[in-house]
Every structure is written in structure tokens, then in C-alpha cells.
């Protein structure tokens, strides 16, 4: 398929997923605030950190970490490229650019999602009934994923959408675990208190993981929560699960035979996925959870770069259809064609 | 709602003879509308508008920055054309397009029509859309204008006239197909009973027309080339590509190497055989035309000339829809086909002719004046609706560049009823049928009915506040004795409105 189209489908799916994740973070935080009697700023600042936009926030709102300012920034601020309204708009613009490659239903939903955000522009609904509004956003995203599954052939375009969604989700789940762990928990007075449980439960809920977690583990313990969200094989928002499925899509796009890889993107993602598949939570924590997640995030970004270089960036015409894999100096990879090297 | 009190005001009305006495083709519709419960029709109109907005069937207006997208206003009362009215239109369009295509091939090759003194050479050379780069070109099957949208109007006598030809990148066909989808949900029973000719096969016909341009390729790769999402007709480009199941490409997706056109795919370069381009001549190839164009594909014209890629429409077709050349079309038809034009032109004064110029200047307040090379209703003067100062300003412009202006009498365009508030009023309409010229000629039954929504306005262009209607071409002229389910019918218990709302 067209490289530009692949790129737009990838980002369309990423942006929808991103909007949903921001809505999740906010929703859970609002619930948590109702249970905790603590200063608002200490709760809202980490959220902005999660989306990675602290600098941009301070530029616009100074040190006003009030609920009001943070919500405005994360939901309706069109100058914040990662706000929900901006993400939905970007998703819709990408969908529009590939309207002929996705189903009409998907386009129509992307368009309606955008209109809904635009009409909610004043933010009254968010103030009056935040939970309903955020649920609507999450449901729009779920509906979009559902339409992707059921109205599109599971062809290359579908694999691009799935890969975009899962890479975004892997990145966001790893961020939220990282942020919660380091911003909230080290408050010594909370450890072991009921508050502590509330925080972990909130973290699970932000990934809709609470109920599924309870089915696997009897009680809430920090290392188990981390294990579930990072390393669980079956939970659809765990980082490992996302990486496994994203790799499936990537390999379907390249058409790689089993046991071989054809390009740098597959090499990087394969290694990352394998690190998650064989990691044990005790080793991860003793080696430093933050270091582990930080490294994972930068490697996810590098996978994204490699996908772009391999499939999207303009490539010169070549005599045969099999692309050469550039030696990857930064990772010291020395990949070759299929058959010559195996994982 | 009913049509009591609806008046034709002396205009030719598409639905009514006069007063509230409907034409045979409009009778079922009138009965149905009047049998609806109070408020139901407005509810259906509203549902149609919501459907259009949700589908994102919107356009951008140049020079209007705040409103980046608008729905193309849509009126749910269809415009009905009876079979016996459509038949001569169909023949007339086929005739006209064949002649114009022969004209294009001739002026870019042998120029017999100039040598034989039918059309003056300097008129052609002075056309803004004449492309010397196309001289000597022989496109596949000798076809230049594969897709044409011809604007027709109907005057007070009920006669259809050709108002202008659009042989470059005519747009609007996607609205025809989408309007039909909505109308089928809005008036399903009347639709079925009226036996309306379908329009849904247009994308298939279009694809066939494009595919036959690459006879060498086993299964040719056909693409739609768009300027991008900011173009006012982007919706249509995406829609047609989707309906044909082919790629929608932008200029930067394509490149030319060794005279062959490729598109950049995730699987490497892939050869392209036919391009349905929706970018104007000026912008398709910075090497051949405007060098500052970032929308086009460098080297595309050379590949076209070498016969390695087919372009539809071929570059250079704009010369045949220049409004001065338009005045010669009846002669052109006679010259190439040895036939009289079936569809007449509107009487046209050419300002480059001395006697026409003095007539135009003396009568400007009665005339419609148009620039020869503009479309979209831009830069025209409707004399009877203009102020004295506007007329004088236009007279100056005409005198400065007479070649660029033509004038036509102000026609009493036909009207059709539209919903205004909670009643009906007549508004002026035109009709743009679409003609496909390939191995076969295909004419879309009906076309886009554009309606000037402003009371009394004669300008129907979407950029000038116009809207659209679905156009029903009836398979046969209805029998006068047929009635639409008189009395109580069980089907009426379930209002059609359920269908109108159930689907979105």
C-alpha cells in the first residue's frame, strides 16, 4: 500500500488510542480525588508528567496545577498537541487523508468523534459531569477499535492500524506505571496504609485492569500490580501483550518467514518483545523498575523510527523488490536477509 | 405540510404545471408529502442534514477561513425528470461530447477546423487554457475528455439549453450518489413506485472508462490524483477512489523514473498505468507547466506524451470549455458530425466582436456577463441584480479585455420547490449531468441538480450559496391514472421516517 497511507493509518490509530488513554488517566484521578483528602496539585501534576508535557503546561499555565487548569490543558487545549481535542482532531485528519482505505463507518465515527469534541468546546459538560463525558470519549475509542476489527479486511491497512494502536498503548501503559511508581508512592507515610491500596487500585483502574487483576491475584501488592501491567501475557493493555501483538502485525506487513527478520524495525521490536517475554518481575524491580521502563520507552521510540525509515520514508527505486537492511550502527546490529540470521 | 399556496410566479416549474397542479412525474411525490404527518417532512430534512454532517460530506470555501467546512446544503424534495424529457438530453450530450473530443484532437494535431475557417486560429491560441505543450499528442483511443460535466438550464419555455461545458476536472458526482443514498431512505415508497433510474453504478463505469486507457497492461493500476485534504473537492476524490477500490494519491506519492510513473508503497515502488487526475493542468507537472507547483509530479507530461501513462482528462481539454469557444460548439458539431446540435446553446455575445461589444455595453444591465475562463460562478455579473456602479465597473473591465468576456441574456431559469421555513417556495435550478467517454459512452441518468437557495438568485454554484437536490430520471413517464395508495394503506401506519432515522 501507499507509504503515506500506511503512515496516516498508523497515526490515526495512535491518536485515537492516545485520546482514550488521556481520558482514562483523568477519569481515574478524579475518582481518586474523591477518596483522598490531599492537596490537589500533588495529584494533578503527575498526570501532566505522564503525557510528557510538563514544560508546555508551565509555559501556558505557570505553576497553577489546579484541577481546572490541568483538565483544560489535557482535554480542550487546542494548543496542546496531546490534549484529547487535539488527538481526536489529528486522528480525524489522518482518517480523512486515507478515507478511501478505511471503511466508511470508521471515517464517519472519526468525524463524529471530532464534532462531539468540538461541540463540547466550552468544557461545561466536563465540569458538570466529568465521568459521563470521559466515558463517552473512551467508548468512542472502543467503538473505533471495534469498527476496525469488524468492518476492515484484516489486510495490510488493518495491520498498520493495529500496530499503531498497540505501540501507543505499550508506551502509555509503561508511562503510567512509571509515573505512579515514582511520583506517588515514595510518600513514606502512605506505604502500607489504606491509601496505598487506593493508589494501586487506581493505577489498575486507569488501565481497566482492576477486575482482571483480581481474578489472578488475591491481594494488591505493588510488585504484582507492576507484573500484571508490564509482563502479563494475556491482559490486552499490558506492555508485553501489546509488544507481542504489534510484532505480529509488523511481521505480517513485512511478510517475514518464521524465525527470520527482514528489516531493522523487526529486529528492534523482536528484541524488545523478547526482553519482556523472558523478564521476571523480581529481577526488574531489583534492577530498578524506573530504569527498566525508561529504557523500554526509548526503545519503543526507536522501533517507531525504524518503522518510519523502513516503510514510510521515500526510498529510491531498486532493481529487485527485496530491500536492503541498513546496518544499524547505533544498536550495533548487523542484520541481513531472511535465512541468514535468525532470532 | 402541503403545497396549498405554492405559486410558480410565471416561471417554468419542475414539479408543477401552475398553482398546485403537479406534472405527471411529480404527482406521487406531492401526494406522499401531503399525506405525511405534521412535522414529519421537516424531521426528515433534519435527519438528512445530520447524516451529511456525520458523513463529513462537506466542502471548503476559498477565502472563508473561519468556517473551514460546510455541508453542501441539501433539499430533500427531489427534482424529477420524466423519461421523454431525458431522452433528447441523453442524445444531445453524447453528440456534444463526441464533437468536442474530435475538436480537441484536431486542434492539438491537424487543425483542420482552423484551416477550414470554422473557428478563428487566434481565438484558440488566446485561450487561457490552450496548452501548446499538448500539440501533437495522441492519447489512448484518441480520447481527451473522459469525464465531462455539462451544465444545463431550462428556460421559461421548458426547453433545455447548454449553459457551459466543463471538460477539465468537473466535480459534483459524489453528491449525486450520496444524495441518492439519503433520498432512498427519505422517500422509499415513492422512490420504488416512481421507477427511478439508478446512479450507483457510476464508479464502476468510471473505473471501466479509466481501465480501457491502458490496453497493454493485463490489470492496469489506476489511481486518483488529488491536490490533498485542503482541496474543496477532497471529499469527492476520496469517495471515488474508495468506491472504485483504487488508491488515492497525492503528487508526492508519485515519481517518474526512466519515463515510467511509480507510486511509493510500503512494498517498494509500484508502476501506475492510468491517473484520474483532479489537479488542474497548471499544477500537474512543474517541468511542463507551472514550475512553482508542489502538487504535481515532475516528468509526468513526458511520460504521458510517450504513452507510458494515461491521464484523464488529458491536459489541454480546457480550451474546449472556454466560454468564447462555447459559442462555436453548434458549428463544431456540424463540422465534425455533420449534424445539427440536439441541445441548443444559450444565445451568446462575444465581446471581442465589435458589434457584440457595443450591444453588450449598451445593454449590460439586462445581461449576464461572464469571464471566458473562470468557473465556480466567480467574477460574473448578473446585470438585473447589479447596481449601476457594478455595471459600470464591469463595462470598464470588458473594454480593457474584450476577449475575456462573453454575455448572455438573463434567462428565466426554471424553478423547483424547496422547503423554506415550514412551507415551500420555488427556487431556480440547473442540472449538471456527467458524461463518460471511453470505449463506450455512458451518461449518468440525471446528474447534480444545483439550486440557488437565495430567493430570486440565479447563481447556483456551491461557492455562491447554492445547494443541491437529488435528481430522479424516471424509467418511463407515469401513467396518469396511477395513484399513490389512495386511502388508508397498512404501510402508512409505519411512517417512512423510521427508515430515515434508523440508519445513522
CA distance B229 to A166: 27
Beta strands at B274-277 and B310-312: parallel, antiparallel or unpaired:
parallel
Whether A319 has a pLDDT exceeding 70, the answer reads: no
Q: Tell me the pLDDT tens digit for each residue of B281-331.
A: 999 999 999 888 888 999 999 999 999 999 999 999 999 999 999 999 999
* Residue A66, pLDDT score: 87
CA B94 to chain centre: 15
Whether B497 has a pLDDT exceeding 50, the answer reads: no
Q: Which residues of B touch A156 (CB under 8 A)?
A: 266
Domain span at A69: 1-152
φ, ψ (nearest 5 deg) of residue B483 = -120, 160
- 3-state SS assignment for residue B157: coil
* Boundary-marking domain end, from A152, A177, A206: A152
Confidence of residue A14 (pLDDT cuts 50, 70, 90): very high
On average, the pLDDT of chain B sits at 88
Which candidate in B207, B254, B268 is best for mutational testing of the A interface (most A CBs within 10 A)? Answer: B268
Judge whether A157 lies within some domain. no
Which candidate in B53, B56, B504 is best for mutational testing of the A interface (most A CBs within 10 A)? Answer: B56
A343 and A197 fall within a common domain: yes
CA distance B275 to B253: 12
CA distance A230 to A239: 5
* Boundary-marking domain end, from A127, A152, A177: A152
Q: How close, in Å, is residue A205 to chain B by CA atoms?
A: 32
Asked if B247 lies within 8 A of A93 by C-beta distance, the reply is no
Supply the pTM of this predicted model.
0.84
* CA nearest to A165, candidates A15, A293, A45: A15
Instruction: Look up residue B223 and give its three cell numbers.
Output: 489511481
Q: How close, in Å, is residue A312 to chain B by CA atoms?
A: 6
CA distance A145 to A142: 5
* CA nearest to B105, candidates B147, B149, B146, B135: B135
Q: What share of chain A is helix, strand, coil (3-state, %, to 5)?
A: 70, 0, 25
CA distance B149 to B6: 32
A300 and A333 fall within a common domain: yes
pLDDT above 90 covers what percent of chain B? 71
> What CATH code is assigned to B349-409?
3.30.1490.270
Query: What residue in B sits closest to A307 (Cα-Cα)?
Result: B266
The owner of cell 506505571 is: A177
Q: How close, in Å, is residue B362 to chain A by CA atoms?
A: 51
* Boundary-marking domain end, from A124, A152, A180: A152
Of B238, B250, B257, nearest to A317 by CB-CB distance is B257
Q: Tell me the pLDDT tens digit for each residue of A98-145.
A: 988 999 999 999 999 999 998 886 667 777 788 889 999 999 999 999
The owner of cell 466529568 is: A130
Asked if B234 lies within 8 A of A96 by C-beta distance, the reply is yes
A71 and A143 fall within a common domain: yes
Q: Tell me the pLDDT tens digit for each residue of B429-487.
A: 999 999 999 999 999 999 999 999 988 888 887 667 789 999 999 987 655 555 444 43
Judge whether A222 lies within some domain. yes
Average pLDDT of B264-281? Answer: 94
A101 and A199 fall within a common domain: no
Average pLDDT of B17-43? Answer: 89
Q: Tell me the pLDDT tens digit for each residue of B330-342.
A: 999 999 999 999 9
A186 and A140 fall within a common domain: no
CA B269 to chain centre: 35
Asked if A323 lies within 8 A of B268 by C-beta distance, the reply is yes
Q: For residue A274, give every residue at least 6 positions away whose Cβ sits within 8 Å of its Cβ, in sequence order, or none.
A: A343
* Residue A328, pLDDT score: 39
Q: Which residues of A touch B231 (CB under 8 A)?
A: none
Confidence of residue B65 (pLDDT cuts 50, 70, 90): very low
Among B144-148, B190-194, B475-479, name the one with the lowest average pLDDT: B475-479
φ, ψ (nearest 5 deg) of residue A267 = -60, -50
A218 and A311 fall within a common domain: yes
- 3-state SS assignment for residue A234: coil
Asked if B253 lies within 8 A of A3 by C-beta distance, the reply is yes
Whether A73 has a pLDDT exceeding 70, the answer reads: yes
- Count of domains observed in chain A: 2
A90 and A223 fall within a common domain: no
Average pLDDT of A81-91? Answer: 93
CB A76 within 8 A of CB A88: no
Q: Tell me the pLDDT tens digit for each residue of A17-52.
A: 999 999 988 888 887 777 776 666 677 888 888 788
Q: Which residues of B touch A265 (CB under 8 A)?
A: none
A221 and A137 fall within a common domain: no
Confidence of residue A222 (pLDDT cuts 50, 70, 90): confident
Q: Pick the most confident of A99-103, A337-341, B202-206, B374-378.
A: B202-206
* Residue A307, pLDDT score: 94
Residue B74, strand partner residues: B468
CA distance B229 to B278: 12
Q: How many CB atoms neighbour CB A134 within 10 A?
A: 23
Outline where B167-317 has alpha helix (H).
173-186, 188-194, 202-211, 234-244, 281-284, 300-305
Q: Tell me the pLDDT tens digit for each residue of B69-93.
A: 677 889 999 999 999 999 999 999 9
Helix axes A222-231, A194-206, angle to 10 degrees: 10
Q: Which residues of A touch B53 (CB under 8 A)?
A: 115
Which candidate in A5, A91, A100, A116 is best for mutational testing of the B interface (most B CBs within 10 A)? Answer: A100
A333 and A195 fall within a common domain: yes
Of B234, B238, B253, nearest to A2 by CB-CB distance is B253
Give this complex's ipTM.
Answer: 0.74
Asked if A107 lies within 8 A of B56 by C-beta distance, the reply is yes
* Residue A314, pLDDT score: 57
Buried b (16+ CB within 10 A) or exposed e, A291-312: ebbeebbebbebbbebbeebbb
The per-residue DSSP string of B332-359 comes to HHHHHH-S--SSPBPP-EETTSHHHHHH
Amino acid at each position: 500500500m501507499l507509504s503515506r497511507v500506511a503512515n496516516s493509518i498508523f497515526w490515526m490509530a495512535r491518536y485515537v488510542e492516545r485520546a482514550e488513554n488521556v481520558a482514562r488517566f483523568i477519569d481515574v484521578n478524579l475518582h481518586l480525588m474523591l477518596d483522598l483528602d490531599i492537596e490537589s496539585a500533588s495529584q494533578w501534576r503527575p498526570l501532566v508528567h505522564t503525557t510528557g508535557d510538563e514544560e508546555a503546561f508551565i509555559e501556558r499555565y505557570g505553576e497553577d496545577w489546579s484541577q481546572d487548569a490541568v483538565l483544560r490543558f489535557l482535554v480542550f487545549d487546542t494548543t496542546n498537541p496531546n490534549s484529547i481535542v487535539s488527538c481526536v482532531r489529528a486522528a480525524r485528519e489522518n482518517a480523512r487523508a486515507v478515507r478511501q482505505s478505511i471503511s466508511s463507518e470508521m471515517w464517519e465515527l472519526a468525524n463524529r468523534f471530532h464534532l462531539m469534541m468540538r461541540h463540547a468546546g466550552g468544557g461545561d459538560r466536563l465540569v458538570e459531569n466529568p465521568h459521563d463525558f470521559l466515558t463517552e470519549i473512551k467508548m468512542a475509542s472502543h467503538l473505533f477499535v471495534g469498527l476496525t476489527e469488524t468492518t476492515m479486511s484484516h489486510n495490510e491497512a488493518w495491520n498498520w492500524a493495529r500496530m499503531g494502536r498497540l505501540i501507543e498503548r505499550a508506551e502509555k501503559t509503561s508511562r503510567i506505571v512509571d509515573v505512579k511508581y515514582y511520583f506517588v508512592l515514595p510518600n513514606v507515610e502512605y506505604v502500607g496504609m489504606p491509601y496505598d491500596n487506593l493508589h494501586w487500585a487506581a493505577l489498575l483502574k486507569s488501565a481497566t485492569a482492576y477486575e482482571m487483576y483480581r481474578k489472578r491475584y488475591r491481594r494488591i501488592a505493588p510488585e504484582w500490580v507492576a507484573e500484571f501491567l508490564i509482563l502479563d501475557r494475556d491482559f490486552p493493555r499490558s506492555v508485553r501483550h501489546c509488544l507481542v501483538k504489534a510484532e505480529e502485525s509488523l511481521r505480517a506487513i513485512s511478510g517475514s518467514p518464521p524465525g527470520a527478520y527482514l528489516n531493522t524495525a523487526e529486529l528492534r521490536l523482536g528484541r524488545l518483545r523478547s526482553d519482556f517475554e523472558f523478564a521476571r518481575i523480581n529481577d526488574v524491580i531489583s534492577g530498578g523498575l524506573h530504569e527498566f521502563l525508561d529504557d523500554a520507552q526509548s526503545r519503543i521510540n526507536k522501533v517507531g523510527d525504524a518503522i518510519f525509515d523502513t516503510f514510510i520514508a521515500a526510498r529510491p527505486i531498486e532493481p529487485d523488490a527485496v530491500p536492503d537492511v541498513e546496518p544499524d550502527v547505533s544498536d550495533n546490529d548487523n542484520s541481513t536477509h531472511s535465512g541468514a540470521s535468525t532470532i | 405540510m402541503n403545497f396549498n399556496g405554492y405559486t410558480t410566479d410565471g416561471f417554468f416549474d419542475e414539479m408543477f404545471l401552475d398553482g398546485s397542479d403537479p406534472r405527471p412525474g411529480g404527482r406521487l411525490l406531492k401526494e406522499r408529502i401531503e399525506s405525511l404527518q405534521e412535522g414529519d417532512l421537516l424531521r426528515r430534512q433534519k435527519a438528512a442534514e445530520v447524516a451529511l454532517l456525520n458523513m463529513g460530506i462537506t466542502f471548503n470555501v476559498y477565502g472563508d477561513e473561519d468556517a473551514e467546512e460546510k455541508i453542501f446544503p441539501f433539499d430533500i424534495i427531489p427534482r424529477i425528470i420524466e423519461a421523454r424529457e431525458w431522452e433528447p438530453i441523453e442524445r444531445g450530450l453524447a453528440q456534444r461530447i463526441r464533437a468536442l473530443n474530435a475538436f480537441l484532437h484536431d486542434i492539438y494535431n491537424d487543425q483542420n477546423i482552423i484551416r477550414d475557417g470554422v473557428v478563428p486560429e487566434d481565438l484558440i491560441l488566446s485561450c487561457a487554457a490552450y496548452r501548446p505543450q499538448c500539440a501533437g499528442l495522441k492519447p489512448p483511443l484518441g480520447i481527451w475528455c473522459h469525464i465531462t460535466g455539462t451544465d444545463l438550464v431550462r428556460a421559461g419555455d421548458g426547453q433545455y439549453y447548454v449553459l457551459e461545458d466543463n471538460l477539465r476536472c468537473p466535480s459534483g458526482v459524489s453528491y449525486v450518489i450520496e444524495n441518492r443514498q439519503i433520498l432512498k431512505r427519505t422517500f422509499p415508497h415513492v422512490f420504488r413506485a416512481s421507477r427511478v433510474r439508478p446512479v450507483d453504478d457510476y464508479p464502476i463505469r468510471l473505473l471501466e472508462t479509466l481501465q480501457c486507457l491502458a490496453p497493454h497492461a493485463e490489470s492496469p493500476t489506476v489511481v486518483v490524483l488529488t491536490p490533498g485534504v485542503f482541496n474543496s473537492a477532497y471529499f469527492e476524490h476520496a469517495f471515488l477512489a474508495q468506491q472504485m477500490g483504487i488508491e488515492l494519491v497525492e503528487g508526492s506519492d508519485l515519481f517518474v523514473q526512466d519515463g515510467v510513473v511509480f507510486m511509493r508503497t510500503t512494498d517498494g515502488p509500484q508502476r501506475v498505468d492510468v491517473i484520474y487526475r483532479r489537479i488542474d493542468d497548471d499544477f500537474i507537472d512543474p517541468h511542463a507547466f507551472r514550475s512553482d507547483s508542489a502538487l504535481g509530479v515532475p516528468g509526468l507530461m513526458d511520460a504521458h506524451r510517450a504513452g507510458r501513462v494515461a491521464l484523464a482528462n488529458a491536459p489541454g481539454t480546457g480550451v474546449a470549455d472556454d466560454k468564447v469557444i462555447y459559442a462555436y460548439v453548434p458549428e463544431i458539431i456540424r463540422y465534425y458530425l455533420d449534424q445539427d446540435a440536439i441541445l441548443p446553446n444559450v444565445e451568446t455575445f462575444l465581446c471581442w466582436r465589435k458589434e457584440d461589444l457595443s450591444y453588450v455595453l449598451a445593454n449590460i444591465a439586462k445581461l449576464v456577463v461572464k469571464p471566458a475562463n473562470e468557473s465556480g460562478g466567480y467574477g460574473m455579473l448578473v446585470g438585473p441584480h447589479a447596481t449601476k456602479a457594478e455595471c459600470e465597473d464591469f463595462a470598464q473591465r470588458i473594454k480593457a479585455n474584450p476577449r475575456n468576456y462573453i454575455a448572455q441574456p438573463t434567462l428565466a431559469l426554471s424553478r423547483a420547490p424547496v422547503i423554506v421555513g415550514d412551507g415551500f417556495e420555488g427556487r431556480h435550478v440547473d442540472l449538471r449531468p456527467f458524461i463518460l467517454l471511453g470505449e463506450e459512452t455512458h451518461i449518468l441518468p440525471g446528474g447534480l441538480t444545483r439550486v440557488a437557495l437565495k430567493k430570486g438568485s440565479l447563481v447556483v454554484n456551491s461557492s455562491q450559496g447554492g445547494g443541491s437536490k437529488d435528481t430522479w430520471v424516471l424509467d418511463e413517464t407515469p401513467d396518469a391514472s396511477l395513484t399513490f395508495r389512495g386511502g388508508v394503506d397498512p404501510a402508512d401506519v409505519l411512517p417512512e421516517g423510521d427508515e430515515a432515522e434508523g440508519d445513522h
